[in-house]
Amino acid sequence: MSALVFTALYLVGDPVSMLASPEATDAERELIRQSLGLDLPLWRQYLIFLNKALVHLDFGNSFLTGEPAMRLILDRMPATLELATAAMALAVLIGVPLGIYAGLKPESLGARSVMTSSVLGFSLPNFWVGLMLIMVFAVFLHWLPAGGRGPVETFGPIQLSIFSWEGWRSLILPVTTIATAKCALIIRVTRAATRECLPLDYIKFARARGLSEARVLGVHLLKNILIPIVTIAGLEYGQVFAFAVVTESVFSWPGIGKLLIDSIITLDRPVVVAYLMLTVVFLSLLNLVVDIIYTILDPRVQAKAGA
Amino acid sequence: MSTTVIGLASPAMPAPRESMLRLFAAQFASSKLALLGLVFLVLFLMLAIFAPWIAPQNPFELATLNIMDSKLPPGSVSSNGAMTYWLGTDGQARDVFSAILYGLRISLIVGFVTVSAAFTIGATVGLISAYFGGRIDALLMRIVDIQLSFPAILVALVLLAVLGKGVDKVIYALVAVQWAYFARAARGAAIVERNKEYVQAARCMSLSWQRILWRHIFPNCIPPLMVIATIDLAHAIALEATLSFLGVGVPVTEPSLGMLISNGYEFMMSGAYWIAFYPGIALALVVVAINMVGDHLRDILNPRNEI
């Protein structure tokens, strides 16, 4: 995986041509090349990279700013985490109730319009939704800022913007943009799971016992449809976190997605490689977390694993 | 269930072809939304094909543009009184309506060419994989898995960074992203078909494997592939728009809808909303119309898939 990314980026282009000023002489260019270690053959570069990355967790310095690539990314990570977490929370909070409703009364007018608008939700391109939101709420109504991040408060190395009203105001539009697409997906998964569970005996039994509808749905049904929802929400959370490239570009949100696209365009290899490695690690961890949640939600999973 | 046309694929049903088509048409017409989507799709296709005759102005004919007319709001009359800019003009005095018609052309061409190429490559790989099984299958499917584990937007971004700008390059990048979906679907369908009696009968007649694969198995794999093709068409158009918006897609000389939106973005803050807004509406209508058709096709062709 790391070799694949490394070789692919090697082919992308010559970073020296981006870094050196157009008037630089050949000798100056060669100097830059040597100082960055780009004069060595590819396999030597890769071995040096592997050694540093595995032993010291050092992915090299950014060609552009000279700072360690990992530091650059970690600095920007809280902004993206904040965005992704708020967006997924919103998507789940809206998506699950709507999905259950659509599953309960699939033929009703309300359910149909929910399903139709969910097609809208996942088919509209992300940047389009963002632009329209900016146009209505920032340009016409002047209610919310069009981009950027509000004032941040520092907690040790982490900076968060959710503790001020201004911070929330800047969060609303990008969060809504991401949540629109994810919400549509969660509605569909919830609806399918609900329709599958509803005809089962235990729901009929719960109803026969005269339990309130709220309890039947909120406890008995919800517990059993949670597994597909957790799976989708977990995977999508990873996607939002790792590839918020588009939304962050539209709203100039200073997160890692914006950093990635800037680095791809300026051919800042160490940052791109470090970013992709970090993402792979993060996604694997997330998968592990989802698996652990399974065993809590569904005791049968654990029983099978022990047998 | 009465909504199953899967029987259409079974050779055991000797119904005449025409009546099956009619059955399919009747089922398709059962959803008004899908019909509406189809009507819009055909309308947009017509607009794109006949753009040079419909458009009041050729937006690439720089000589005909009058710089005095730039950034006029919708409904303005041109300074020489010859035409009315129903949707306004952009920063270079191009009529937005004409630009949309030409942009629609590029977007639809990218979409259709991408899907046809991805369909051909994907179906070939999938069918060969299913038919021969064993090592070939394992190898091909491993490639598909690797491909699908990277998010589409990221693969396309990196590829375009290597290839550079251009309509053809966008198409290469999108095909590289999308062929794997077709390969997986084709393999899934073909594995079911492979062991059916009619294939065994064809083998007994010692027909060549190419003939069995393409004349016997392939036609029965078309329904699921058609669903994927429709959805991927919308996906390709949206993805191209996103890439162009991020500045790595089509060149300025061949603006697609995404490019038009990107150009208009800078004027939006100053209140000239129409330059980005109307191309945005056109893009949304195209993508949603295709998805409405795709969503309904999926309901008809594989009723088991509820998500």
- The model's pLDDT over B133-183, given as tens digits with 9 standing for 90+, comes to 888 888 888 888 877 777 778 778 877 877 777 888 889 889 988 888 899
pLDDT at B27 exceeding the cut of 50: yes
Whether residue B247 and residue A265 make contact (CB cut-off 8 A), yes or no, is yes
Structural contact between residues A115 and A190, judged by C-beta atoms closer than 8 angstroms: no
Residue A180, H or E segment: helix A165-197
Report the alpha-carbon distance of residue B105 to residue B256 in Å, rounded. Answer: 8
Query: Is the predicted pLDDT of residue A21 greater than 60, yes or no?
Result: no
Q: Of the residues A10, A28, A56, which one is the last residue of a structural domain?
A: A56
User: Residue B23: its pLDDT value, please?
Assistant: 76
Give bridge partners of residue A61 from the DSSP assignment.
A68
**Is A159 a domain residue?**
yes
Per-residue model confidence (pLDDT) at position A40: 64
Same-domain pairing of A123 and A190: yes
Q: Which pLDDT score is estimated for B3?
A: 45
In a domain, A7, yes or no: yes
Please compute the mean of the pLDDT values over residues A229-246 and round it to a whole number: 81
pLDDT at residue B254 in the model? 77
Interface test with B, best of A127, A249, A252 (most B CBs within 10 A): A127
Q: Which residues in chain B are closer than 8 Å to A139, comparing Cβ atoms?
A: 268-269, 271, 273
- Gyration radius (Cα) of chain B, Å: 23
* pLDDT value of position B217: 85
> pLDDT at position B223, please?
82
For B262, the enclosing helix (H) or strand (E) is helix B257-268
CATH of the domain at A130: 1.10.3720.10
A224 with A117, same domain: the answer is yes
Tell me which of A84 and B274 has the higher pLDDT: A84
Query: Exposed, middle or buried by CB within 10 Å (0-12, 13-18, 19+), for B231?
Result: buried
A160 close contact with B: CB closer than 8 A: no
Rounded to the nearest integer, the mean pLDDT of chain B is 78
**Average pLDDT over chain A, rounded to whole?**
75
Nearest CA in chain B to A258: B246
Measure the CA–CA gap between B157 and B164, rounded to whole angstroms. Answer: 10
Whole-number Cα distances in Å, B290 to A46, A259, B45, B250, B287: 45, 33, 11, 22, 5
Residues A10 and A136 reside in one and the same domain: no
Residue A168 has pLDDT above 80, yes or no: no
Do the Cβ atoms of B158 and A11 come within 8 Å? Answer: no
Quickly tell me which residue has 């913007």 as its tokens: A161
Predicted interface score ipTM higher than 0.95: no
Q: Which residues contact B2 (CB under 8 A, 6 or more apart)?
A: none
Could you tell me if residue A120 is inside a domain? yes
CA distance B197 to B33: 39
Question: Binning pLDDT at 50, 70 and 90, where does residue A61 land?
Answer: low
The answer for A 29-88 residues in CB contact with B (under 8 A) is none
- The answer, for A195 touching chain B at a CB cutoff of 8 Å, is yes
Smallest Cα distance from A208 to chain B, Å: 28
pLDDT for A9: 56
Instruction: Assess whether A31 and A135 both reside in one domain.
Output: no
Please tell me the total count of domains within chain A: 2
Q: Is residue A66 part of a domain?
A: no
Q: What is the pLDDT of residue A306?
A: 47
| Site from A4, A128, A247, A260 to mutate, B interface, most B CB atoms within 10 angstroms | A128
Same domain, A83 and A218: yes
What amino acid occupies position A164? S
Nearest CA in chain B to A4: B146
Q: Taking CB atoms and an 8 Å cut-off, how many pairs form between chains A and B?
A: 91
- Are residue A45 and residue A155 in the same domain, yes or no? no
Across the interface, whether the CB atoms of B154 and A243 are under 8 A apart is answered: yes
Task: Give the span between the Cα atoms of A258 and A252, in whole angstroms.
Answer: 7
For residue B89, the cross-strand partners are B95
Chain A's closest residue to B238, CA to CA, is A125
Q: Does A234 score more than 70 pLDDT?
A: yes
Q: Check residue B1 and give its pLDDT.
A: 39
pLDDT (average), residues B211-222: 84
Query: For position B170, what pLDDT does the model report?
Result: 87
Structure tokens of B180? 């794997």
pLDDT tens per residue, range B69-80: 666 666 666 666
Range of the domain at A191: 73-306
Interface of B with A in 131-190 (CB under 8 A): 151, 153-154, 157-158, 161-162
Q: Do A245 and B271 touch (CB under 8 A)?
A: no
Contact A153, A140 (CB under 8 A): no
Cα–chain center distance at A259: 14
Is there a contact between B34 and B28 (Cβ–Cβ < 8 Å)? yes
Question: How many of the other CB atoms lie within 10 Å of CB of A153?
Answer: 12
Q: Are residues A115 and A42 in the same domain?
A: no
Rg over alpha carbons for chain A, rounded to the nearest Å, is: 24
Share of chain A above pLDDT 90, in %: 0
Residue B118's pLDDT band (cuts 50, 70, 90): very high
Lowest mean pLDDT among A11-20, A296-305, B201-210, B278-287: A11-20
Q: What is the pLDDT of residue A307?
A: 41
Q: Considering CB atoms only, which of A9, A124, A189 is closest to B288?
A: A124
The pLDDT score that the predictor gives to residue B120 is: 93
Give yes or no for residue A186 having a pLDDT over 60.
yes
- The amino acid that residue A56 corresponds to is H
Q: Could you tell me if A220 and A292 lie in one domain?
A: yes
At A188, the pLDDT band (50, 70, 90 cuts) reads confident
Any B CB within 8 A of A126 CB: yes
| Pick from B274, B281, B282, B261: nearest CA to B95 | B274
Same domain, yes or no: A32 and A78: no
Are residues B307 and A8, on separate chains, in Cβ contact within 8 Å? no
pLDDT band at B117 (very low <50, low <70, confident <90, very high): very high
A182 and A41 together in one domain? no
Is A8 close to B158, i.e. CB distance below 8 A?
yes
Q: Which residue has the tokens 């929802």?
A: A229
Q: Are residues A184 and A270 in the same domain?
A: yes
Does the beta-carbon distance from B153 to A245 stay under 8 Å?
yes
Note the pLDDT of residue B119.
93
